[in-house]
Amino acid sequence: MKYILPFILTIVVMISLSCSSGSNEQNKVDELIEEMTLDEKIGQLNQLMNFVDTIPVDPYFYNLLKEGKVGSVLNGYSPELIKEMQRISVEESRLGIPLLVGRDVIHGYRTIFPVNIGLAATFNPELVKECTAIAAKEARSEGINWTFAPMMDISRDPRWGRMVESCGEDPYLTEEMTKAYIQGFQGDDLSNTKNIAATAKHYVGYGAAIGGRDYNTTLIPEAELRNVYLRPFKVAVEENVASVMSGFNELNGIPTTGNQYTIKEILKGEWDFQGFVVSDWASIRNLTTHGYAKDSIDATLKAFTAGVDMDMSGMHYLDNLKILVENGSIDESLIDDAVRRILSIKCKLGLFENPYGNNENELLTEQALDIAKKAVIQSTVLLQNKNQVLPLSKDVGKVAVIGPLADAPHEQMGTWVFDGKSENSITPLNALKNYLGEEKISYAPGLKISRTRNREGFPEAIQAARNSDAVILFMGDESILTGEAHSRAELTLPGYQNQLIEEISKLNKPTVLVMMTGVIHMIEPYLEKVDALLYGWHPGTMGGPGYVDLLFGIESPSGKLPITFPRTEGQIPIYYNHNNTGHPADDESWVRMYDIPVKAWQTSLGNTNHYLDYGFEPLFEFGFGLSYADFKYSDIELSKKVISMNDSLVITAKIKNTGGCQAEDVAQLYIRDLVGRIVRPVKELKRFKRIKLNPGEEKIIEFILKPKDLEFHDGEKWIIEPGEFQVWIGNSSKASLMSGFELK
């Protein structure tokens, strides 16, 4: 024993010095690998799930840690237990290799920000970067050094419950948000103890599940895979993301956790990804469920040879990899490569120097709460404002606050929150009381929870509304109704919320509906029953104060929809950047069902691709969002009408605030490639920019495009194809200010 301790110290000091200096890092990691037994190498590929939150550590887990058979742990523990598990790994295992401590830090740690689809609605990557940097600091202060975020699955089907974690339907917006998330989490230097390693997930195509049913089959042609679903992951690799997580889904017949083409050939080969790949939760085991592997050993072989470096929670690698090496199915050099990738990230994180975190109190700081409130304000989307009911005056009189989400501190945090606490949430009710005074508030929830299916609370709510000068309804979903495994076929408000809105609308009071949810609801029926509608998502810790600033005009709404809102579930999937058809619909060609004469001659009714009942347009388009001001776009100009492959194109337009208050708008640039080797989308977002203007103020917006921005994959290769292009600038995907240019 007296010889072992000096050996451990020598190895740890050697690695620490090499990582801190940055010199010969890979050589030093290789030297450590040479000292490792096969069992210890395989241990680095094992991520252990621990639901036991006790000290001393459970004997089973303790022995695995001491024997060097755990490279990472995830979830289900306290900061004290994290420290103890790290201590065992560093001080009691033979080589003293620290742990990667993973956690689902998705949209905040203790300070909870709006859910991810809400953060995407800000169209503000810098703000998202600030949010994730705060989440990283908070998590690292409690020993967590790795997050399973961001999720960058393109989501075109709102029935999919995990849309809430996404950035919506557009690949460019998702790319920009992906950069922000990774830069926020990882910073400029991973070894800084305020940063954590990020994970790009779910690789790849998980969001394209057929029917929006979670975990379902995905069928994506090569061109679409490249032009839409892979794009954010390539950006993540370019941002040096530490890890990539394989998905649960089957992609074109091959489960993504066993897909050599996507992982080995594209990610690690074509893109030269230097981080490591972790499976999703027990997704190696799922290979047998899919019918792609016959047993645990076969699943291990297929996942590992596909390029999955770490097994999350499944114990397959720990149980089977040694057998596969010994029988010659896997060469030990492949094990070495996976270990090298993981140790390199541990080295970059500075874990050999400081495995325990920064030990600073970084939770719920004033700065964090200010940014969380700003995120609520910029993520909330104003969808309707009849007769300028909003903003309300502080002298409005008595206000009825009604709805199951008005005072639900847990629910407003949203899905995938492990470390946020209800007592830190400021609810809309409490924020309104603080702003107006309790004497002006008449509160009656009407429904106990969002799923309540009775009218017991209706009389009190109706009376509160009747005796008030204005009504604010806070409707939506409990947090558990969104997220993983929470897909829904019907996207209407649960419980008797519809009935409550109906009863309140009969009173003809000025009524504002605030939607608090992580999904898209079919809100068209509510537009007739309320004067104003704010889509507030699940807002997180500072939901109440953020809403108050919007409701009373301290701030003007500026959120924009990151996903198209259908009029009914039957229109799904519907997204702005679709391809054209040979029979595109327009207002003139739409033949409405009830306009068809009785016993009409059999006809194709206009020969266009529309629904007889709901036409072809969504309720609200991608990029839409109202303001308390009005914005006018004019005078679009292009620096050139013809550009070469070496040129840049400068596109400008004027934007003027023609309203009566200071406000921000999101200027959006779209293009269309009119003729392509394969059919190109009718519009594609290429740039966006937040602009703040005083009443009457006018500014010139400038965007720069390069030929690289016009590149697409034709199913075989990436090409930049000469031709004619249209370009639009406006504040939604229905932008009408248009010009054009030619690429030669």
**Residues annotated catalytic, as ranges:** 280
CB of 142 closer than 8 Å to CB of 357: yes
CB of 335 closer than 8 Å to CB of 321: yes
Pairing of strands 199-203, 254-255: unpaired
Distance CA(107)–CA(415), nearest Å, equals 9
**Amino acid in position 218:** T
Distance CA(518)–CA(608), nearest Å, equals 34
**Amino acid in position 654:** K
CA distances from 491 to 189, 481, 578 (A): 43, 11, 22
Triad 414, 415, 420: Cα angle to 5°: 70
Q: Which residues of 144-172 are buried (b: 16+ CB within 10 A; e: fewer)?
A: bbbbbbbbbbbbbbbbbbbbbbbbbbbbb
Question: In the β-sheet with 631-638, what is the strand arrangement from edge to edge?
Answer: 631-638, 649-657, 698-705
Which residue in 93, 105, 210 sits closest to 148, CA to CA?
A: 105
Distance CA(730)–CA(727), nearest Å, equals 10
Helical pair 4-21 and 332-348, crossing angle rounded to 10 deg: 70
Tokens of 23: 């010199």
Distance CA(23)–CA(4), nearest Å, equals 27
Element holding 61 (H helix, E strand): helix 59-66
CB of 712 closer than 8 Å to CB of 719: yes
